[in-house]
Chain A
Amino acid sequence: MSASEVATIRLVSIGKRYAGTSALDDVSLEIRAGSVHALVGANGAGKSTLGKVIGGVVRPDDGEMFVDGRAVKYATPRDARGDGIATIAQELALAPAMSVLENVFLGIEPRRLGLVNRRAMRQQYAELIARSGFELNGDVNVGSLRTADRQKVEILRAVNTDARVIVMDEPTSSLTSVETEALHRMTRSLRDQGKTIVYVSHFLDEVLDLADTVTVMRSGHLVRTALAAAETEESLVAGMFGAAAEAEQFEKPPPSTAPVMLAVEGLRRKGVLSDVSLTVRQGEIVGLAGLVGSGRTELARAIAGADPIDGGKITVDGKERRIRSPAHALAAGIAFLTEERKKDGLFMELSLAANTTFADVPAVSARGILRRAVERHRTRQLLESLNVDPPLPGARANSLSGGNQQKVLFARWLFCNPKVLVLDEPTRGVDVAARAAIHRLINDLAKEGAAVLLISSEIEEVLGLAHRVLVMRRGAITREFAADPPLGDVMEAAFGLPGSET
């Protein structure tokens, strides 16, 4: 396969659904050979999924894909590689116990008489390094490298396999600015050699700097594809977040004077959170917006005792609390709804009753003995009030749909009667109806007096519900808005655009 061969990728009506929600819907796109084509969008807009479809990592449910005018159906990244399409993923796929050199040449080692020709390998590696402008010792073990350097190995590997199309999924999210610049230089030189780069990123300045063409995605839909020269950061943000908010707008009460339920002061964690302070009053919903990696989830986990902190004060209902574990947080009255429902939320093999009461089993026991009838009764009441379908205490969690599973997770925390609810992505991966129901539930809980800290990557969700909006960027709270702020302002603050800092 020669590098001069021209590749064009054409996608027609691509669709992909996960557990009832659509990650991609009717996306049609053409990628010109020899260009840098950027895919931008907010979290969950589908840009990564689209990149994965091109790279054969994700198999689409609908639609067709053509490479050089030939219809293709990739089942694995290997199939895509066969057509010269390589992916540099966010989760890197390298052999950590092998050297950089061995990883770059894995499977395509230069051979002599059936043995690896190490001298030729070194020589080719030196040429590759010279061409790329990366500095990377070929002899060190990949396992000892930092993420940024591992990423370089992936890129070198892709270039080395003579890939014609390279899909880069958030390649710079863990690179320093110098490294980013090196990557961009290399990307441009690859393009100049006739290669095609699909560049998935939420760094708008980079995208405008680097790309020839930009495709804007929003909630799984394609908004538009345009020349990068015709776009500005503001126009991209507007495209990514649109004008019409999809989430229901709830009526917000006037600024609250109710007692402060949760007060966080100077919360610190090295490299993650720097001096975060916030308050949530009784009956108040405080929304926390920000990009992925801005520290939203990390803040939630710190408050909930799930992750260790280096310093700071947490006060609940006027009493300072030492929170070093989730048990401490629960004892203080803080319930934490995790964003990872399956990974650290539900017990999939256990019954809904067990899932519901798990954080406070003693409440349905006497002297350490479960009162199963009481447990079933209370679970059923709670599940019915949350409209879980089916509201059967005996059903297993893994028999429910994503939306119902999420409601069961809510049930667990409501069962504890918490004073403070920390909700991290409460509607992730649930269908539209369940989403609306959860929004109403959150609104009702606040009305009943709960203090809610709402974290979501869906800005409409935050704006629809929050009485106050805090924006996080790089581990710190950078802006505060009163209820119903203009969406554009919040977005600009989240992206740290000039003029948004006050």
Chain B
Amino acid sequence: MTLQPPNAPDDIPATAALAGAPAGAFDRRVRSGRRIKAEHIRDYGIVVFVVGLFIYFSLASPVFLTSGNLLNLVYENATVGIAACAVTLTIIAGNFDLSLGAIFTLAEVLCAWAAVHWGVWWCFPVAIVSGAAMGLINGAVITKLRVNAFLATLATALAFTGLALAVSGGFEIIPSKGASTFTFIGLNRVAGIQYPDLILLVVAILLQLVLYFTVFGRHLYGVGGNRDAARLSGLKVDRIVIITFVLTGAACGLAGLIDASTTGQGSASNVLGQNLALNAIAGVALGGTSIFGGIGAVWRTVVGVLMLGMITNGFDLLGVADYWQQIVRGVLIIGAVAVGSMIERR
């Protein structure tokens, strides 16, 4: 297996290939030869690792490499993936969001509530708009009240979770009228592929394109890379930060909608929601996006999330105990981040 030299020596190399940009347009002289450098290990080591793991599971388990299993793998990680892709933008812009799961849960409860009380079609806009509104609250608290993002989202997460319990009264909200509409996204397929898989794909591609091809995306890297310089370059830094939180909130709302649709109910005590923030951020970090901002990409997050999902799926198939999976995931995250910062320090 060989490591490819970066095909585009720009700020986020491999994205050009993913986005289908012409790689030939770049100056070939900048490519630092064919030798594998430390940077390449940092940038593409995780990809190599995922491919290796994929091959291993394919050989070790007869079930792993079947379309049914692979689709399930993505399906199980779609909600985490959507939240993780969006929070990648927040993290690149130099912030942090611990309230992903709480937004997800409250949006899920609200959309089920709306489906019951206002009519089933309301579940779609309510999930996404309420998610975006919660993101707006996060962004406003962080930029206007100058509360550290870590603490701010920890606190709003508490409040959102409490609100979800208050709205649901601690019970599942089950929209029985129009149930087929409510569960449409969660339980149906197009061309054999589950809707959540498709939604993840669309969200990931869209956000990656935004990062790589738009002025807004460029500004995100600047704000995260050097906030003072971004301000001196005339950027409205607060506004940009708020937008990342709103996008992340909307994405978590969408994820909540998918979960509600899959389970056919809205519930404030949802294990997926409780672990969502940490799982999503673990995926972001594993993919190689810097927790300090300024460096990263959405495709990396997709790789990171799928890798975590693959470990669960593959080890389940091989009958490895759950606690081993957790240990392996923990070690991997530390390993990936440590390799990154070791190379950074040289």
Interface centre among B216, B218, B222, B233 (most CB of A within 10 A): B233
> Are B30 and A365 in contact (CB-based, < 8 A)?
no
Q: Please name all residues of chain B whose beta carbon is closer than 8 Å to the beta carbon of A326 when the two chains form the complex.
A: 231-234
Interface-located stretch among A84-92, A163-171, A179-187, A339-347: A339-347
Complex Cα distance, B234 from A331, in Å, reads 8
Interface size class on chain A is 35 or more
Give residues 247-285 of A contacting B (CB, 8 Å). Answer: none
A297 → chain B closest CB, angstroms: 13
Other-chain contact of A344, B11, B226, B234 (Cβ < 8 Å)? B226
B8 touching A358, Cβ below 8 Å: no
- B1 contacts A by Cβ under 8 Å: no
Please give, as numbers and ranges, the residues of chain A lying within 8 Å of B222 by CB-CB distance.
Answer: 347, 350, 354, 358
Q: Which A residues are CB-close (under 8 A) to B213?
A: 369-370, 372
In the complex, what residue of chain B is closest to A371 when comparing beta carbons? B213
Give the CA-CA distance A354 to B27 in the complex, in Å.
16
Q: Is B236 an interface residue (CB 8 A)?
A: yes
- Chain A CB within 8 A of B229 CB: yes
With a cutoff of 8 Å between Cβ atoms, the chain B residues found around residue A392 in the complex are: 9, 27, 29-30
The reply to whether B215 and A361 contact each other, CB–CB distance below 8 Å, is yes
Partner of A354, one of B25, B218, B228: B218
Closest beta carbon of chain B to A285's beta carbon, Å: 22
Are A394 and B226 in touch, CB under 8 angstroms? no
In whole Å, how far is A308's beta carbon from the nearest beta carbon of chain B?
Answer: 13
| A495 touches B (CB below 8 Å) | no
Contacts of A373 in B (CB 8 A): 25
The range of chain B's interface size is 20 to 34
Q: A344-B229, A392-B29 are in contact. Are A351 and B10 (CB under 8 A)?
A: yes
Evaluate contact between B233 and A412: CB separation under 8 angstroms: yes
- Return chain B residues, CB-CB under 8 Å to A215: none
Give A394 to B232 CA distance when docked, in angstroms.
23
Q: Does B342 contact A (CB under 8 A)?
A: no
Tell me which residues across on chain A come within 8 A of B228, comparing CB atoms.
Answer: 343-344
Q: Most chain-B Cβ atoms within 10 A of its Cβ — which of A304, A346, A361, A392?
A: A361
CA distance A20 to B35 in the complex (A): 28
Judge whether A394 and B216 touch: CB under 8 Å: no
Partner of B214, one of A304, A349, A370: A370
Listed residue (A306, A343, A349, A395) with the most chain B CB atoms within 10 angstroms of its CB: A349
A348 touches B225 (CB 8 A): yes
B221 CB within 8 Å of chain A: yes
Q: How far is the CA of A345 from the CA of B222 in the complex (A)?
A: 11
Is B26 located at the chain interface by the 8 A CB criterion? Answer: yes
Q: For B266, what are the chain A residues with a Cβ–Cβ distance below 8 Å?
A: none
Pairwise interchain contact A369-B214, C-beta atoms closer than 8 A: yes
Q: How far is the CA of A69 from the CA of B217 in the complex (A)?
A: 61
Bound Cα distance A336, B217 (Å): 24
The answer to whether A353 has its CB under 8 Å from any CB of chain B is: yes
- Chain A nearest CB: distance from B121 CB in Å? 31
A294 CA to B221 CA, complexed, in Å: 35
Q: What is the bound-complex CA distance between A396 and B12, given in angstroms?
A: 11
Given the known inter-chain contacts A347-B225, A347-B294, please indicate yes or no for A394 contacting B219, CB distance below 8 A: no
Contact of A368 among B214, B229, B230, B233 (CB under 8 A): B214
B6 to chain A, nearest CB (A): 9
Is the pair B232, A370 in contact by a Cβ cutoff of 8 Å?
A: no
Q: Is B21 an interface residue (CB 8 A)?
A: yes
Q: What A residues does B236 contact at CB under 8 A?
A: 327
Bound: A336/B75 CA distance, A: 51
Known A-B contacts A344-B228, A349-B295; A365 and B215 likewise in contact (beta carbons under 8 Å): yes
A-B contact pairs, 21 of them (CB 8 A): A306-B232, A326-B231, A327-B234, A331-B234, A343-B226, A347-B225, A347-B229, A347-B230, A347-B294, A349-B221, A350-B221, A353-B10, A354-B221, A358-B233, A361-B219, A369-B214, A370-B212, A370-B214, A370-B217, A372-B25, A394-B30
Q: What 10 A-B pairs are tightest by C-beta distance, nearest first? A: A344-B228, A394-B9, A330-B234, A359-B233, A327-B234, A347-B225, A361-B215, A351-B11, A350-B11, A326-B232
Given A330-B234, A344-B232, 4 other A-B residues pairs in contact with their CB atoms under 8 A: A370-B213, A370-B217, A394-B26, A395-B9
Binding site for B on A (CB under 8 A): 304, 306, 325-327, 329-331, 336, 338, 343-351, 353-354, 358-359, 361-362, 365, 368-370, 372-373, 376, 390, 392-396, 412
